[in-house]
């Protein structure tokens, strides 16, 4: 049996944090065994925010190194850089002809971005979902692992796939389905600011690349409260969040030790935070070391990128040929 195809893109902005790791990345690592996976770095998408050439290059290298350090295996999954596969932009051009201004303007991500960067509402921002659809459809993906924020973009990709099939009376594109992980596999990591989940833009995140000193500083500053006054009281959100983090990175006996102290009101948050910081460090330090090693190994990075580009182009060229045939492009020479 042929394995179903999975495609997912990662924008090269910023560092991976613990939330990304326990949310998406660990599931990518599991998926690479059971699916025909294409994971790519969406460097063309990132141009919508106008990065400098230096930032773009550094960002691409950093995410590639980070994903490899986390355990994405280039022998199992096809890991590539979007701009290394020109077939994607060619398909994007064709898909643009059947994407309509009205539907693109109505997407919430476009409206959000237009509000966030009112001086840079470029056409790339408007057609972001079309490029994303091209990323997905070029490999005839069956599944796309996406978070809540990308559901609408995937819905557009599904719409564009069906529309293309209908217009050209073909079945060239499967309709890509969202890949959702069941509850146990999807660990929601809270932030350090007392509410909500860990996120880059929330400024409450601990990056995998963070050095121990910075981790200690961030954890010691995490929001708590004045401490319990009644035995066995329920924990307010900021305190509950610290316990949730502890459950993720510490051993069960450490968790029950602080739980008992909370319940008899003898807890000192400083002690809990110290322990939490050390346990986060034990978790992230090996990953950080690998990131640093890989970032120093340009030859390895080049080898991975070349191998990924070759595999991705092979798959992409096949689809593009079919698509061009359907559209009616016929070489006259």
Please tell me the count of residues contacting ligand TRP according to CB under 6 A: 13
DSSP string, 102-115: HHHHH-HHHHHHHH
CB under 6 A: which stretch of 50-58, 146-154, 187-195, 217-225 binds ligand TRP? 146-154
Q: Is 305 in the site for ligand TRP (CB under 6 A)?
A: no
Q: How far is the CB of 257 from ligand TRP (least distance, A)?
A: 38
Q: How far is the CB of 119 from ligand TRP (least distance, A)?
A: 21
Residues in contact with 197: Cβ distance below 8 Å, sequence separation at least 6, in sequence order: 19, 188, 189, 190, 191
Catalytic site residue 200? Answer: yes
Catalytic residue selected from 159, 197, 311, 324: 197
Nearest to 90 by CA among 330, 316, 263: 316
Q: Is 66 in the site for ligand TRP (CB under 6 A)?
A: no
Distance CA 241, CA 275 (A): 15
Distance CA 217, CA 210 (A): 11
Contact 79, 64 (CB under 8 A): yes
Q: Is 45 in the site for ligand TRP (CB under 6 A)?
A: yes
| Adjacency order of strands within the sheet including 177-179 | 78-81, 36-41, 5-10, 143-145, 177-179
Helices (H), 37-193: 53-70, 86-96, 101-106, 108-116, 123-126, 128-137, 151-167
Q: Judging by beta carbons within 10 Å of its beta carbon (0-12, 13-18, 19+), is residue 4 exposed, middle or buried? A: middle
Token readout for 227 is 């401490």
Q: Is 63 in the site for ligand TRP (CB under 6 A)?
A: no
Catalytic site residue 113? Answer: yes
CB under 6 A: which stretch of 142-150, 206-214, 265-273, 317-325 binds ligand TRP? 142-150
Q: Looking at 81, 132, 239, 294, which residue binds ligand TRP (CB under 6 A)?
A: 132
Q: Is 42 in the site for ligand TRP (CB under 6 A)?
A: yes
Q: Is 144 in the site for ligand TRP (CB under 6 A)?
A: yes
Catalytic residue selected from 76, 159, 200, 318: 200
Catalytic residue selected from 2, 3, 111, 113: 113
Residues in contact with 195: Cβ distance below 8 Å, sequence separation at least 6, in sequence order: 237, 238, 241
User: Which residue in the block uniquely carries the two structure tokens 């770095």?
Assistant: 41
Q: Judging by beta carbons within 10 Å of its beta carbon (0-12, 13-18, 19+), is residue 160 exposed, middle or buried? A: buried
Catalytic site residue 76? Answer: no
C-beta of 68 vs 154, nearer to ligand TRP: 154
Binding mask 9-38 for ligand TRP (x = CB under 6 A): x-x---------------------------
C-beta of 68 vs 134, nearer to ligand TRP: 134
Q: Is 216 in the site for ligand TRP (CB under 6 A)?
A: no
Interaction with ligand TRP in 149-168: which residues (CB under 6 A)?
A: 150, 153
Q: How far is the CB of 21 from ligand TRP (least distance, A)?
A: 15
Residues that bind ligand TRP (CB under 6 A): 7-9, 11, 42, 45, 132, 135-136, 144, 146, 150, 153
């Amino acid at each position: 049996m042929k394995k179903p195809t999975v495609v997912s893109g990662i924008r090269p902005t910023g560092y991976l944090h613990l939330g990304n790791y326990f949310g998406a990345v660990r599931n990518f690592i599991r998926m690479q065994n059971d699916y025909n996976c294409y994971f790519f770095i969406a460097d063309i998408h990132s141009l919508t925010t106008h990065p400098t050439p230096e930032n773009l290059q550094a960002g691409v290298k950093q995410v590639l190194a980070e994903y490899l350090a986390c355990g994405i295996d280039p022998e199992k999954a096809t890991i590539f850089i979007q701009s290394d596969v020109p077939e994607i932009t060619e398909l994007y051009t064709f898909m643009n002809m059947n994407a309509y201004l009205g539907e693109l303007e109505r997407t919430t991500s476009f409206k959000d971005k237009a509000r966030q960067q009112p001086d840079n509402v470029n056409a790339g921002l408007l057609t972001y979902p079309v490029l994303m659809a091209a990323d997905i459809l070029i490999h005839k993906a069956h599944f796309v692992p996406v978070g809540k924020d990308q559901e609408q973009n995937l819905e557009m990709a599904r719409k564009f796939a069906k529309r293309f099939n209908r217009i050209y009376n073909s079945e060239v594109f499967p309709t890509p389905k969202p890949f959702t992980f069941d509850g146990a596999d999807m660990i929601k990591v809270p932030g350090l600011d007392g509410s909500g989940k860990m996120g880059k833009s929330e400024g409450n995140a601990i990056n995998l690349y963070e050095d121990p000193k910075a981790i200690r500083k961030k954890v010691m500053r995490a929001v708590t409260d004045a401490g319990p006054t009644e035995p066995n009281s329920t924990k307010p959100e900021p305190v509950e969040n610290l316990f949730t983090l502890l459950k993720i990175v510490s051993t069960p006996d450490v968790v029950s030790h602080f739980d008992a102290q909370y319940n008899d009101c003898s807890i000192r948050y400083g002690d809990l935070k110290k322990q939490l910081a050390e346990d986060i460090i034990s978790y992230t330090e090996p990953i950080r070391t690998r990131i640093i090693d890989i970032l120093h190994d340009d030859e390895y990075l080049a080898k991975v990128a070349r191998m990924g580009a070759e595999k991705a182009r092979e798959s992409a060229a096949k689809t593009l040929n079919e698509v061009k045939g359907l559209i009616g492009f016929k070489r006259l020479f």
